[in-house]
Structure 1
Amino acid sequence: MPRVICAGHVNWDVTLYVDRLPEPDGEAVIEAQTGAGGGSAANVACGLARLDVPVALLGSVGEDDHGAAARAELIDAGVDCGTIQTVPDGETAVKYLAVSAAGEVMVFGRDGVNEAFTAGHLPESTLASAEHVHLTSQRPNTAARLADRAREAGATVSFDPGRRLDERDFSGALARADVVFLNDREAATALGDALDSENRTLVLKHGPRGAEVRTGTRTYTHPGFAVETVDTTGAGDAFAAGFIASLLRGDGCEEALALANACGALAARTRGARTPLDWDGVSELLSR
């Protein structure tokens, strides 16, 4: 049974690796193209599974080839997919990503049915085994209800609202979260309550400049790890997986921050949204 439940988007990513990100009315050269599973919740679930944390994923895909392929990849990674909903005649969400030679990312999305799941699709029996529920971008009411159910079941809650924080009212889920993950852009547009570290742990991701953790009484910082950046897609999700895995094994915020930065660095130095994280690679970076 899962120790962690991740809830949110399950996508199919079409990634174009280009020589540069063009300006408006400009043009870039495509050097390679790949197709693979994506979506923040799915990425974090894969990261946790690779770090030997039993994990289930609540999300939704269409009844199409992309949905079948996304599910197969998740199962192969060791993720419990019993709570992934398949929508008859629906289309799996597809994200089109352009990644420059410097690792910068531009995203174009077609949502499909990745928010068709509801809080009611999570069985009580699955939730009862979980110690932690990690929420990512989804319908605000669904996120708030899942956070309520998690707290009622005695599980802790983390929330990474993602790029659409400034477009959607996530105040309900934010108020119920024990841990909130934000990058610099999201923090600049976040609601005041999201930045409140008196009643929750606030984790701020600064990309190549590392990250920090703020609690009600302490602030912890870590400069990150110097690696050659190839693709930042999914680096924040790998970071979140590392932070959660560290907390679950009993580490404090300082240790969790270092481990999370190591996972993010491993993701940034390889192509794709789902770097196969492993404890040996993490330990190698931490030993520097």
Structure 2
Amino acid sequence: MVEVVTAGHVNWDVTLRVDALPVPDGEARIDSQRRSGGGSAANVAVALSGMEFETGLVGSVGDDDTGLLARRELRDAGVDCTHLLEVEDAETTTKYLIVDEGGEVMVLGNEGANEAVAPADVTPEYVEGARHLHLTSQRPDTAAELARVATEAGVTVSFDPGRRLADRDFAAALAHSDVVFLNDREARTILDDDLEAPASELHGRVVVIKHGEDGARVDTPDGSYSHPGFDAEAVDTTGAGDAFAAGFLAVLVRGDNPVGPDADYERALEFANACGALAAMEDGARTAPTWEDVQAFLDGQF
């Protein structure tokens, strides 16, 4: 059994560092190339594994060479891949991440084997044995089934729906989520206009709104907390949101009651911002700072 199950996309990333993001009919110079595993579900699993959590992953890859490499990277990072589906005669989803000198990112990608996991592929016992389930962008019906199984088993659920929130109906998964992660743009899609009060479907839930380099805010049934973030020199913001989510969850899941009134949301927010800052200071979408690395950063030793 694992402590945290993450579910959603598993990608193979090709990161191109350029002198500037290209404009239409323009051209940019490629300064370096890097290939590694990516995808929000995989990134969070690796980050939590780096903080000594037993993590498992529900997702899908193709039976191609990049699928083999993605699976190998995850296993090497300590992530349980027994529920990572291999899709026959399919390409692993590949993302091309174009990163400029200031760390800003443009993403291109194919659909690939992502979202091959259907509700019927969910193994209830795998989810029921965990302490926490973290959902990322995936098929809405699969997200809903995973969240339902977890909730009925008393397993807490978090959801980071990602860029496609406006185009997909995640209402059923949101209804079972205890913690919801949104960035400013996503928040404008789902929250009330002033971003101060959760929309009706999120009442009673913990809502974390990420402001990028300006920190983040968490709204809980018992109050709100804000953190201004850290003054870090961004190299690559790819995956910083995943590192943030992993840091937030790490603090909560280590507590006796991850989403109850005694949960230390203020500490979780500070720790999450530190994880996001550390991720932005490194190349690539996947970083796995240890608990000690993050604490050293908070103590000003980095």
Contact 2:13 2:95 in 1 (8 A): yes
Name the SS for the 1:14 alignment partner. strand
Q: Which residue of structure 1 lines up, in the alignment, with residue 253 of structure 2?
A: 248
Measured in 2, the distance between the counterparts of 1:132 and 1:279 equals: 19
Q: Which residue of structure 1 lines up, in the alignment, with residue 292 of structure 2?
A: 280
Contact 2:8 2:59 in 1 (8 A): yes
Q: What is the TM-score when the length of structure 2 is the normalising length?
A: 0.92
Q: Which residue of structure 1 lines up, in the alignment, with residue 182 of structure 2?
A: 182
Measured in 2, the distance between the counterparts of 1:185 and 1:48 equals: 26
Give the letter aligned to residue 284 of structure 2: G
Name the SS for the 2:86 alignment partner. strand
* 1:133-163 Cα distance to aligned partner (Å, 9 max, x none): 0000001111111110110111010000000
Give the letter aligned to residue 271 of structure 2: L
Q: Which residue of structure 2 lines up, in the alignment, with residue 61 of structure 1?
A: 61
Shift of residue 35 of structure 1? 0.9
Shift of residue 198 of structure 1? 3.1
**Number of residue pairs aligned between Structure 1 and Structure 2:** 288
User: In percent, how many aligned pairs have the same letter?
Assistant: 58
Residues 1-288 of structure 1: pairs in structure 2 closer than 5 A: 1-190=1-190, 195=199, 198-250=203-255, 252-288=264-300
Name the SS for the 2:28 alignment partner. coil
Contact 2:128 2:149 in 1 (8 A): no
Measured in 2, the distance between the counterparts of 1:195 and 1:13 equals: 34
* 1:226-265 Cα distance to aligned partner (Å, 9 max, x none): 1110000000000001111110111510010011111101
Shift of residue 280 of structure 1? 1.9
Give the letter aligned to residue 270 of structure 2: A
Larger CA deviation: 113-122 vs 43-52:
113-122
Measured in 1, the distance between the counterparts of 2:80 and 2:224 equals: 35
Name the SS for the 1:230 alignment partner. coil
Larger CA deviation: 191-200 vs 142-151:
191-200
* 1:143-201 Cα distance to aligned partner (Å, 9 max, x none): 11111011011101000000000111111111111000001111122265964553100
Measured in 2, the distance between the counterparts of 1:132 and 1:48 equals: 12
Give the letter aligned to residue 134 of structure 2: H
Contact 1:198 1:215 in 2 (8 A): no
Shift of residue 120 of structure 1? 3.3
Shift of residue 121 of structure 1? 2.7
Measured in 2, the distance between the counterparts of 1:76 and 1:102 equals: 31
Query: Structure 1, unaligned stretches of length 5 or more?
Result: none
| Alignment RMSD | 1.4
* 1:186-231 Cα distance to aligned partner (Å, 9 max, x none): 1122265964553100000001000010012311001111111000
Measured in 1, the distance between the counterparts of 2:5 and 2:205 equals: 19
* 1:63-116 Cα distance to aligned partner (Å, 9 max, x none): 000100000000000000000000111111011110000000000110111100
Measured in 1, the distance between the counterparts of 2:205 and 2:172 equals: 14
Measured in 2, the distance between the counterparts of 1:145 and 1:186 equals: 23
Contact 1:225 1:285 in 2 (8 A): no
Give the letter aligned to residue 169 of structure 1: D
Name the SS for the 2:66 alignment partner. helix
Larger CA deviation: 263-272 vs 189-198:
189-198
Query: 1:265/1:195 Cα in 2 relative to 1: closer, same or farther (>3 Å)?
Result: farther
Measured in 2, the distance between the counterparts of 1:229 and 1:267 equals: 9
Contact 1:3 1:53 in 2 (8 A): yes
Name the SS for the 2:70 alignment partner. helix
Measured in 2, the distance between the counterparts of 1:54 and 1:119 equals: 24
